[in-house]
Amino acid sequence: MLTGIIAVVLGLGLMILIHEFGHFIMARFFGVRVDVFSIGLGPRLFGVKRGATDYRFSAVPMGGYVRMAGENPSGERTGDPDECSSSSPDPPPT
């Protein structure tokens, strides 16, 4: 029984990781700055900050999120070109 529960939790965790990584890759592809890449929800337990992104594991393991700069319409915006609200839906030129 315990083995089955552990397998389900690990399987869901892997699916969440892959799903959130998709958001992360697309944001970076379109030139949007990613402030937080979190596996888990709630308060930060541990992680590392590389560049502008805080990669973290949070307290509640069932979930995850990617917070992009300028993503919150009611939040503070600086008008930087790497904010979500400032980006174009067209991919950057190659």
Which residues are known catalytic residues?
20
Q: Which of these, 75, 73, 80, 76, lies nearest to 52 by C-alpha position?
A: 80
Question: How far is 50 from 66, CA to CA, in rounded Å?
Answer: 15
Structure tokens of 16? 């969440």
